[in-house]
């Protein structure tokens, strides 16, 4: 009996599991070489010819043209990790791929997927409990530890060459937007932190500014540009002649009528400017347009005006100045104004705006070229996220693969207390975590087997902080070396990897209405397990 359409495809049982595992591992393999201080970069060219050069895991996976439903599930692991922790995306995806590889070995031994997924769940729960036990508490005022967290995040990325100076900026920026809640916890308000990028200088010249940076010019050359104490108006209403909502036509029979029409427009603009003058404003940041005649009047009144201010800049100015955004110029009053200082940098064509009690800071990043500054910004964003997480969470872990080896050791001890076939899955989970130090060593051109043996020996001897120094090829105390990570990111990576692996393993039947792809393209079917299942072709083919 035929119950499916002609174009429908179906893969069952072992073939479906092999298909899914292969797709997920392909994604993990694509980013493995980017892991660690010695990780390599990827060049990604989109359909428009735009080039992105990065070793940021989530950026690579988002830019790749992945056309496979299972692979998309693994990409979600990276996106979730980025959203929740800000860093550790490559680790999360790599561990998920390794979990599925080891699970495949268990499946070939006729261990049921349910036993494997249960074992992985038990291992994930236990590993996260152990993370909390191993983690060291850190105070939000502990600048040195926070700098180490930032430097560890930036190592191996575009920000590495100037990581000491940039880490100092990142920590100061986070501390500048951190407030203590009533219950004693610390809250980092990243909405009050803005990053502005510029090219033409080295990264070492980057600076942290108290207030906002506006990349705009005055609308009129005769306007003043510097104020020590200015009344500032934030406006989301055009200073232009009001236009009718429908198409209109005006019949003019004489030059006098034309002049009357022009005079009326000029009067409207004059009235709008008068409203601004009467409010007492010295500076106007307008999100909409400003008519040429209005620019002239504003300049005559000695008022600085900036038009087409970006919406994001206007919202940030609202935080910096603690001022409302006025949406109707007719209702503006002196109460709508904020007090702050304005300084003009003619060389960079920037305005520096600072409020009396500034509620925001701006990180001004420099890079030699657009590609450099883009990668620098990605690295700084990750550093900001992990430092913010560390301040909020208050826990750190040893880096350099130390925590993975320690967790693997403890999981193997825990496996002895697990009955049934789940014990093998717990041991497989432990083996999967050790992928991180192995890949760190491989990407640095070191012998991963020998170093893993040395790491295990150090941890068996009780050295919880023993990790890999990829620059010397030695095992050392990573906490003393300043290589530390945030505990929350590690917990999230373990949880995401385990859940993604379990989700894939529980699938034993794939039924597709047509070609197995997420884009719906009519690509030729790729030779996947199970007789012609497509989807590994179009987007995944170029990954391997």
Which residue numbers are catalytic? 56, 89-90, 382
Angle CA 433–434–439, to nearest 5: 110
Q: How far apart are CA 348 and CA 351, in angstroms?
A: 9
What sign has the CA pseudo-torsion 142, 148, 153, 158?
A: positive
Decide: helix, strand or coil at residue 509. strand
- Report which of 421, 498, 524, 530 is spatially closest to residue 18, judged by C-alpha positions: 530
Q: Which residue has the tokens 């299942």?
A: 533
Q: Give the distance, in angstroms, between the CA of residue 368 and the centroid of all CA atoms in the same chain.
A: 22
SS (H, E, C) 134-152: HCEECCCCCHHHHHHHHHH
Q: How far apart are CA 31 and CA 544, in angstroms?
A: 10
State the virtual CA torsion across 254, 255, 261, 267 in degrees, nearest 10: -150
**Six token digits for residue 345:** 């940098």
Helix (H) / strand (E) element for 188: namely strand 186-188
State the virtual CA torsion across 159, 161, 167, 168 in degrees, nearest 10: -130
Q: How far apart are CA 341 and CA 226, in angstroms?
A: 8
Q: Are 24 and 74 in contact (CB under 8 A)?
A: yes
Q: Which residue has the tokens 């092999």?
A: 18
Angle CA 109–111–117, to nearest 5: 130
Angle CA 14–20–22, to nearest 5: 100
How many helices (H) and strands (E) are present in the chain, helices listed first?
Answer: 16, 21
| Cα atoms in the 13 Å half-sphere on the side-chain side of 437 | 34
- Report which of 79, 93, 82 is spatially closest to residue 34, judged by C-alpha positions: 93
**Six token digits for residue 26:** 């392909």
**Six token digits for residue 314:** 């206007």
Q: How far apart are CA 227 and CA 249, in angstroms?
A: 45
Q: Are 119 and 425 in contact (CB under 8 A)?
A: yes
- Report which of 314, 506, 386 is spatially closest to residue 145, judged by C-alpha positions: 386
**Residues in CB range of 378: below 8 A, 6 or more apart:** 54, 56, 59, 157, 158
Q: Give the distance, in angstroms, between the CA of residue 324 and the centroid of all CA atoms in the same chain.
A: 29
């Amino acid at each position: 009996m035929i119950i499916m359409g002609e174009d429908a495809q179906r893969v069952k049982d072992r073939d479906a599991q092999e298909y899914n595992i292969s797709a997920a591992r392909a994604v993990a393999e694509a980013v493995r070489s980017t892991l660690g201080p010695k990780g390599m970069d990827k060049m990604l060219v989109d359909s428009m010819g735009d080039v992105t050069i990065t070793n940021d895991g989530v950026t690579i996976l988002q830019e790749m043209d992945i056309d496979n439903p299972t692979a998309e599930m693994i990409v979600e692991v990276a996106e979730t990790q980025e959203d929740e922790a800000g860093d550790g995306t490559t680790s999360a995806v790599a561990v998920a791929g390794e979990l599925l590889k080891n699970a495949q070995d268990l499946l070939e031994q006729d261990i049921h997927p349910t036993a494997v997924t249960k074992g992985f769940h038990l291992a994930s729960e236990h590993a996260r409990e152990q993370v909390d036990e191993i983690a060291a508490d850190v105070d939000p005022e502990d600048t040195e530890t926070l700098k180490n967290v930032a430097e560890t995040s930036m190592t191996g990325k575009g920000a590495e060459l100037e990581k000491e100076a940039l880490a100092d900026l990142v920590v100061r920026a986070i501390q500048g937007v951190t407030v203590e809640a009533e219950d004693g916890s610390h809250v980092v308000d990243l909405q009050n932190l803005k990053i502005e990028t510029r090219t033409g200088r080295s990264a070492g010249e980057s600076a942290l500014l108290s207030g906002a940076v506006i990349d705009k010019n005055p609308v009129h050359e005769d306007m003043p540009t510097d104020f020590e104490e200015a009344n500032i108006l934030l406006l989301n209403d055009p200073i232009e002649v009001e236009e009718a909502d429908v198409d209109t036509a005006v019949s003019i029979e004489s030059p006098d009528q034309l002049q009357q029409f022009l005079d009326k427009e000029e009067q409207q603009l004059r009235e709008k400017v008068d409203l601004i003058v009467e409010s007492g404003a010295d500076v106007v940041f307008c999100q909409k347009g400003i008519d040429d005649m209005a620019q002239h009047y504003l300049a005559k009144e000695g008022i600085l005006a900036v038009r087409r201010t970006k919406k994001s800049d206007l919202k940030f100015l609202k935080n910096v100045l603690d001022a409302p955004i006025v949406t109707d110029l007719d209702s503006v009053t002196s109460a709508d104004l904020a007090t702050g200082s304005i300084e003009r940098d003619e060389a960079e064509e920037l305005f520096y705006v600072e409020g009396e009690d500034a509620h925001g800071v701006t990180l001004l990043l420099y890079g030699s070229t657009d590609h450099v500054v883009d990668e620098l910004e990605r690295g700084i964003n990750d550093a900001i996220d992990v430092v913010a997480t560390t301040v909020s969470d208050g826990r750190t872990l040893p880096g350099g693969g130390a925590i993975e080896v320690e967790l693997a050791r403890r999981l193997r001890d825990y496996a002895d207390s697990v009955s049934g076939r789940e014990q093998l899955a717990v041991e497989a989970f432990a083996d999967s975590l050790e992928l991180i130090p192995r890949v760190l060593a491989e990407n640095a051109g070191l012998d991963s087997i020998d170093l893993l043996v040395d790491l295990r020996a150090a941890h068996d001897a009780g050295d919880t902080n023993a990790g890999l120094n990829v620059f010397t090829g030695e095992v050392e105390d990573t906490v003393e070396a300043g290589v530390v990570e945030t505990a929350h990111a590690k917990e999230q990576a373990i949880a995401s990897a385990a859940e993604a692996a379990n989700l894939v393993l529980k699938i034993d039947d794939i039924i597709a209405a047509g070609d197995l792809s997420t884009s719906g393209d009519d690509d030729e079917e790729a030779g996947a397990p199970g007789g012609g299942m497509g989807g590994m072709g179009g987007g995944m083919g170029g990954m391997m």
